[in-house]
């Protein structure tokens, strides 16, 4: 694998969505590698942006609050950057169905405006866009590789696919080096914990640590592909650094399926919580994909990257983080109710 400190040390990097879950973990890692890091985040309500995610980094990371779709301010942030990691997104599947026009504005228009500014001021930087396994929708075969057809089951998946295509076209038309990733279920420290609309695993952890009962929708046999956030960050950095990845789309996941029920059992065992099966609420059933896990052979072949953190180890680190910092993430909701 490429020595990341050799690549990023002293380089100028921008992380959009940098106060969010993956973005803040990425920004912290870049700072560890001695990069000159700037983050921008719109801090939209219920989307996960949290200043605590970058607590203690003020001397190493320049934090800006703003929308990447706004011309004022973004132009100056893009000038002179060597790497642009575009992680800004609204990521709620249920929320996108409830408010599709907001999802359209924040996930499509903002990114297109952002790419237009980037084309004008800094088309030579390496840019990386993070999409989602949700773009595949209901799997026609498993594990799903990068050639699997798109068939999203919600508005968010449609818009993420559209934004990925924006990045592909700008790369091909304007010669802008670009990596496009489709990332599976990421878990770990610094994820939003105030509601359940951005994935179930962190909500299971919150319910368990709050003394509630974990509710597993359906029979719990549906399989997912969980990847620890630290492994996801290393995949992002390796693919941006590796020129053979530029112009390509790559899956990022563990490649190891785990059922939702087994996930609930593991969290219950580690926290002393209980769990039970309940019927799917309509709003979640409508966006359920069934079994979905990814073929990650392409990224392994091109970079040598491998996930380093097993599922149980990752759960231990995640649960310990929230035991210590629950007051920064819980807000005023009561999952036990």
Task: Give the pLDDT confidence of 134-175 residue by residue, as tens digits.
Answer: 999 999 999 999 999 999 988 888 999 999 999 999 999 999
In this predicted structure, what is the pLDDT of residue 319? 98
Q: What pLDDT score does 210 carry?
A: 95
Tens-digit pLDDT profile for residues 10-68: 999 999 999 999 999 999 999 999 999 999 999 987 788 999 999 999 899 999 999 89
List the chain domain ranges. Answer: 4-187+227-252, 201-224+256-293+309-328
Q: Please name every residue paired with 83 in a beta bridge, in sequence order, or none if there are none.
A: 13, 126
Dist CA 86 CA 167 (whole Å)? 10
In the chain, where does DSSP find H-type helix?
A: 4-8, 21-32, 71-78, 93-98, 100-104, 110-121, 155-174, 201-209, 229-241, 260-271, 282-285, 297-303, 311-325
Out of 3.50.50.60, 3.40.50.2000, 3.40.50.720, 2.30.30.140, which CATH number does the structure's domain 4-187+227-252 have? 3.40.50.720
pLDDT value of residue 331? 80
Q: Is the peptide bond before 143 cis (omega within 30 degrees of 0)?
A: yes
When pLDDT is cut at 50, 70 and 90, the band that residue 290 belongs to is confident
Please determine, for residue 97, whether its predicted confidence score (pLDDT) is greater than 70. no
Q: How far apart are the C-alpha atoms of 47 and 15, rounded to whole Å?
A: 16
Query: CA 16 to CA 13: how far, in whole Å?
Result: 10
pLDDT, tens only, 211-262: 999 999 999 999 999 999 999 999 999 999 999 999 999 999 999 999 999 9
**Residue 3, Cβ density class (10 Å: 0-12 exposed, 13-18 middle, ≥19 buried):** exposed
pTM of the model: 0.94
Q: What per-residue confidence (pLDDT) applies to 7?
A: 98
CATH number of 201-224+256-293+309-328: 3.90.25.10
């Amino acid at each position: 694998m490429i020595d990341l400190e050799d690549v990023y040390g002293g380089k100028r990097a921008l992380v959009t969505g940098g106060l969010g879950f993956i973005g803040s973990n990425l920004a912290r890692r870049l700072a560890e590698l001695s990069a000159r890091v700037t983050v921008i985040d719109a801090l939209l309500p219920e989307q996960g942006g949290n200043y605590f995610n970058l607590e203690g980094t003020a001397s190493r990371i320049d934090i800006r609050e703003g929308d990447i779709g706004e011309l004022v301010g973004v132009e100056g942030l893009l000038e002179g950057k060597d790497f642009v990691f575009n992680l800004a997104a609204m990521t709620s599947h249920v929320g996108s169905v409830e408010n599709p026009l907001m999802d359209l504005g924040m996930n499509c228009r903002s990114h297109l405006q952002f790419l237009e500014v980037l084309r004008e001021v800094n088309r030579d930087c390496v840019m990386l866009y993070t999409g989602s396994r949700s773009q595949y929708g209901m799997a026609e075969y498993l594990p799903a590789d990068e050639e699997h057809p798109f068939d999203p089951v919600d508005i968010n998946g449609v818009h993420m696919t559209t934004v990925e295509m924006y990045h592909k076209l700008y790369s091909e038309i304007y010669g802008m080096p670009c990596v496009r990733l489709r990332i599976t279920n990421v878990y770990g420290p610094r994820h939003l914990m105030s509601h359940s609309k951005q994935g179930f695993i962190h909500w299971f952890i919150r319910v368990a640590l709050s003394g509630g009962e974990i509710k597993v929708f359906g029979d719990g046999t549906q399989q997912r592909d969980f990847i620890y956030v630290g492994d996801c960050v290393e995949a992002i950095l390796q693919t941006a650094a590796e020129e053979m990845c530029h112009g390509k789309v790559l899956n990022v996941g563990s490649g190891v399926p785990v059922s939702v029920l087994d996930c609930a059992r593991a969290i219950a065992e580690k926290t002393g919580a209980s769990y039970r099966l309940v019927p799917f609420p309509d709003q979640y059933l409508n966006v359920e994909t069934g079994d979905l896990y990814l073929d990650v052979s392409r990224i392994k072949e091109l970079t040598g990257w491998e996930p380093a953190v097993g599922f149980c180890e990752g759960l231990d680190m995640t649960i310990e983080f929230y035991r210590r910092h629950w007051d920064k993430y819980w807000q005023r909701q009561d999952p036990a109710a």
